[in-house]
Structures are given as structure tokens and as C-alpha cells.
Amino acid sequence: MPLRLRRQPDLVCQQIVELVTDYLDGALPRADRGRFERHLAGCPQCTAYLAQMRETIRLTGRLRVADLSPAMRADFGELYRGWRAEAT
């Protein structure tokens, strides 16, 4: 029997879009990471897709939260003092 090289088939675009989060989290096994990057190297659409996912994450990270109002700060100061009184 001749030796057969068992090389995994290449990934297609529709698979790439499902692996993006695993890829960005460093959660792809090494072999899959290689296949992922080989596909990207030859596919401008998927490269654009990955860039869009990165941009989506960046923009989501800017949805930072509103400051606590002075009234709320006062309320939580009161909560703290109530707890201190209860604790002692």
C-alpha cells in the first residue's frame, strides 16, 4: 500500500465566517489555524470579513457606560453607611 498523505481539505468561506471568534480567541487547534490563515491569504473577501469583525468588537468596546449620577452616588454612600451601622 502506498503511503497517502492525509492533508485536510481547504476551508471555504462559509466555514471561515464560523471560525472567526475561535481564531481571534486563539482557540483553534494549530492545524486549523494554519488552514484558516492559508484561506485568508488567498481570499480578500474573508480578509475583509475578519477586519469587519475586529472593527465590530472595537466599536462595541466603545459602548462604555454612563457615569453614575450625583444622586446615585449619594444613594450608594448611604447604602455603605447603612451596612457599616449594621456591621458594628
Partner 1 sequence: MTDPDAELLSRFRAGDEQAFVELVARHHTTMLRLAQSFVASRAIAEEVAQDAWLAALRGIGGFAGRSTFRTWLFAILANRARTTGMREHRTTPLESPEPAVDPARFGAGGMWTSPPVDWTDAAAERLDAQALATALQSALDGLPPRQRQVVLLRDVDGLSSEEVCEVLELSEANQRVLLHRGRSHLRTTLEANFGAR
Restricted to residues 8-67, the positions that interact with partner 1 (CB under 8 A) are 12-15, 17-18, 20-22, 25, 27, 45-46, 48-49, 51-53, 55-57, 59-67
For the record, the C-alpha cell of 39 comes out as: 484561506
How far apart, in whole angstroms, are the C-alpha atoms of residue 68 and residue 53? 31
- Name the 3-class secondary structure at 27: coil
CB-based contacts of 62: which residues, under 8 Å, 6+ apart? none
CB of 1 to partner 1, least distance (A): 31
> If you search the block for the grid coordinates 475561535, which residue do you land on?
22
CB of 20 to partner 1, least distance (A): 7
Judged by beta carbon, residue 5 or residue 82, the one nearer partner 1 is 82
Q: Cβ–Cβ contacts within 10 Å for residue 35, how many?
A: 20
Q: Does 85 bind partner 1 (CB under 8 A)?
A: no
What are the residues binding partner 1 (CB under 8 A)?
Answer: 12-15, 17-18, 20-22, 25, 27, 45-46, 48-49, 51-53, 55-57, 59-68, 72-73, 76-77, 79-81, 83-84
